[in-house]
Each structure stands twice: as C-alpha cells, then as structure tokens.
Amino acid sequence: MGLEQKINYLLNRFPKLKKRLKRCYQRFSYAFSKKIKSEGNIISITPNDGKEYFFGYYDKSPWNNSENLMVCLRADNTWSDVSPKQPADIMLIDLTKDINDNERIKKIAETHAWNVQMGCMLQWFGPKFEDEIIYNDFRNNEFCSVILNVRTLEERIINNPVYAVSNDGAFALTLDFTRLYSLRPGYGYYNLPEKTGGIGLPNEPCVWYVDLISGESKPILKYTDFANFKSREEMGHKDTVHKVNHIMLSPDGKRFMVLYRWFNGRRKYTRLITCNIDGTDMYLLSDDDMVSHCFWKNNGEIIAFENKHDGGTGYYLMKDKTQEYKHLWNVYCNDGHPSYSLTGEFVVTDTYPNRKRVQEIKLLREQDDKGEVIAKAFAPFKYDNDTRCDLHPRWDRKGEKICFDATFEGHRGLYIVPLEVVDA
C-alpha cells in the first residue's frame, strides 16, 4: 500500500477534513503537473449541447443486442446535487446515423427517480435485450419500474422499483432506496421519507423479490437477518446503523450477492454475502471489514476489490460458498469498478482521480501481472466528492468496445473506446 492510500484510509474517520485536505492536495499537484485532457482512442457518443449525458453503473451495458442502439440519461445539472429534484430524460441513440444527424439521439421517456452515481437502473430488458428497456420512476406518489418498448413506446408498469434484473426478464431483486438516500444520497432516491428513519437496526424487510411477469413482490430478507447471521461484536452497539446495498445477480439468476454494511460512528464495516434468490443458503464470502466493487465472473466466481487480512487491499477472485480466493494483480491496490468480458478472458476497471485529477481505464487478464491503460480522462474540480463522475467502464455485447462516462470536455458525456488492439 502506497503512502497516499495509507493517509486516505487514516482520514476515512474524518470525512469533512478528508474532503478539504484532498481538494487542497489535488489543486496543488494539478497546478504543477503536466495537463492532460484525454488520451486514447476515445470516441464521443453524445452531443456537446450544454446538457449532461451519462448512463449509470458499471454492471450494465448501454447497447442493445444488435448494437445499433444505446440508451442513456440526459439532465441539466449533475454537479450540485447527488439526487436532483428535476426529472432526467431517457435518451435513445441510433448508432446507424451520423453523429451530426439531428435524428441520431432522441428523448423517449423521463424519470423522476434517479441519482448521479447510478442513474435510474436504466438497462435493456431480457431475454432479447433488443427492443425493450427497464428503468425506475416515481409515479402517483410511489416508486415503480417501467418496461418500455423503445420503438412503439408502449409501456408496462411494475409497482416496485428494481435494483438487479434477471437476464431472462422474469424477476428482479430490489431494496429500500429511501434508506439508501438517508445514509448515502448518491445511491438512493429523495422522493419519499424513509420509513425506517432513526432506527439503527430495523426489524423490517430490506431485500424484495419482484416478479416482472405478474408484477407481484414479496420480502425475502430483513436487516435483522443479516445482523444475526454470524454476528460480530461491532454490530450490537446501540448506535450502530445497518444497511444493504449493491445487489448483483449471478448470470443464471440462481444466486445473488449483496454488500451488508454497518456503521459505528464514522467507522464502516462491510461484508460480502451470497444467497439463493429466495434468501436461503446465505454464505459469508468475505468478512475482513472492507469490500467495495464486485462482479460475477460466472455462476460460481466473484471478483471484488476488498481487504484480506493476510493479503491487504486489492482485487481478489473468490469461489462462491468457499473460502478459496486468488489475489490478482498485486501492483493494483486502489479501488475501481471491475467487470469481465462475456468470455471471461478480460477484465476492465477504472481508477478514481489521482493527484493530477486524471482517471484511467485499464484492460487486464488474470494471468498477467499488469494491465494496459487504454484511456485517460481529466476530471474537472467541478465534479468532485459525491457528485464526482466515476468512469464506470462497461462492455458491449461482443466484448469489442468499452463505454464510459466522463467529464473531460467540461460536461458529462458518454464515450467509447474500441479494442482493436486486443487479440485473444
């Protein structure tokens, strides 16, 4: 672990001081560094028209199956509030049209349930991933999800928001977006007050199963289920606050992983837990205090940036329902958003802004010691802290292109990096 990372971890207990010191350090370093706007074969996908364009998280693809269409969000402001009160537009991009064609990008819907970091869970709807999308909205004073045909604009309303959607389009898992907003606004929705507000450990549901065919839903796990499972001493303090976040389904839709977090003051603990989709067969996969971004490599393996007491922080590949794991790329000990290509051969990940305010996208193989930097992007100081723009790199359907969000042109936009240089 480098000196900067050690200082960063020490300052985690003092978040306000950390933000001020980090900003001063980066401004000083930037002032005396070589200026980089962007590097790499980067292609702009969205217009420079004074609007903010972005897709959302790293575990979804903005391309449809034919790869002739992409979807994204458009907003007026993404730098002053992490969960803006204004609706965001849902945009359809026709990749068969010239970038200067006014018909290339058009609004097809809007959402009132979104945030800057994860959008509105916008994604193509399975099993075809071709003509329909699904996204979260707020209608009639309730959260919902909308399945929309992008060609006919016919829609079907599900009376629950979604978090993770199965590849076959049969069901989704979801959680309480109001509690997320209370505890970390950049990942929740502001629209309704939190029902569990002020309760550190609610004896209330926190994960729901949503049938996307019938529209019915049912709770499958409570916060207390997580707290009582292989409980630790730190969980029982009277001031401890508990939450769950970052649900991801295995490719076959039979299991899911979830980050279970609890806070003792400013000290945060995180576990990575896997379960069957009905909440049974819970397994504690990682319990060394820190787990960050994860991704299913296949139905039995998960990559995560995390801490291991015997290996330190880094990327680890873990085998589900076992304590078997492998430390990948020992040279990388800074957090990022990793995901595997469909073949499982490549991993793409990113970095947060360094002291020169530059972010990178890296392409890696498990068997290699070090990866290749395929793109760099400057992060303006306007986008920082909770309203920062993470690159969130995502694969296309064929494993030939990477899409990411960035602000190096002074606004949020969508960009693509083709991978012509990659050979299997």
105-137 tens-digit pLDDT: 999 999 999 999 999 999 999 999 999 999 999
Answer whether residue 4 shows pLDDT above 70: no
Q: Is the pLDDT of residue 2 over 60?
A: no
Region 268-284: what's the mean pLDDT? 97
Q: Do residues 325 and 319 touch, judged by C-beta distance below 8 A?
A: yes
pLDDT at 374 over 50: yes
- Both tokens assigned to 79: 């730098």
Owner of token pair 């976040």: 245
pLDDT over 60 (residue 277): yes
Q: With contact defined as beta carbons under 8 Å apart, do 71 and 150 qualify? A: yes
Distances (CA, A) of 299 to 64, 133, 255, 320: 23, 24, 8, 8
Provide the pLDDT for residue 100. 86
Q: Which two tokens stand for residue 2?
A: 């480098």
- Supply the pLDDT for residue 424: 40
Q: Which whole number is the average pLDDT over 157-165?
A: 98
- The SS3 call for residue 66 is coil
Residue 160 pLDDT greater than 80, yes or no? yes
82: phi then psi, degrees, rounded to nearest 5: -80, -20
> pLDDT at position 41, please?
96
Q: Which range is least confidently modeled, 154-158, 219-223, 329-333, 400-404? A: 329-333
Does residue 214 carry a pLDDT above 50? yes
Q: What is the DSSP letter of 364?
A: E
Helix (H, G, I), strand (E, B) or coil at 207: strand
Domains and CATH numbers, the chain: 1-32 (no CATH), 55-348 (2.130.10)
Look at residue 422 in the predicted model and tell me its pLDDT.
Answer: 47
Mean pLDDT of 302-314: 94
Q: What is the mean pLDDT of the chain?
A: 92
pLDDT at 243 over 90: yes
Mean pLDDT (whole number) for 342-364: 95
| Residue 304: HSE in the Cβ half-sphere, 13 Å Cα cutoff | 28
Flag whether pLDDT at 423 surpasses 50: no
Instruction: For residue range 24-69, list pLDDT tens digits in order.
Output: 766 666 665 677 899 999 999 999 999 999 999 999 999 999 999 9
pLDDT over 60 (residue 5): no
Per-residue pLDDT band at 408 (split at 50, 70, 90): very high
Read off φ and ψ for residue 187, nearest 5 degrees.
-125, 5
Q: Output the pLDDT for position 3.
A: 57
- pLDDT of 265 reads 84
For 158, other C-beta atoms within 10 Å of its C-beta total: 23
Helices 15-31 and 3-11 meet at what angle, rounded to 10?
150
For 127-156, what is the mean pLDDT?
A: 98
Residue 192: phi and psi, rounded to 5, are -125, 150
Distances (CA, A) of 152 to 62, 66, 231, 392: 19, 18, 51, 30
Average pLDDT over residues 325-333: 93
Residue 196: its pLDDT value, please?
95
Q: What's the pLDDT score for residue 192?
A: 97
- Residue 349: what are its φ and ψ, rounded to 5°? -150, 175
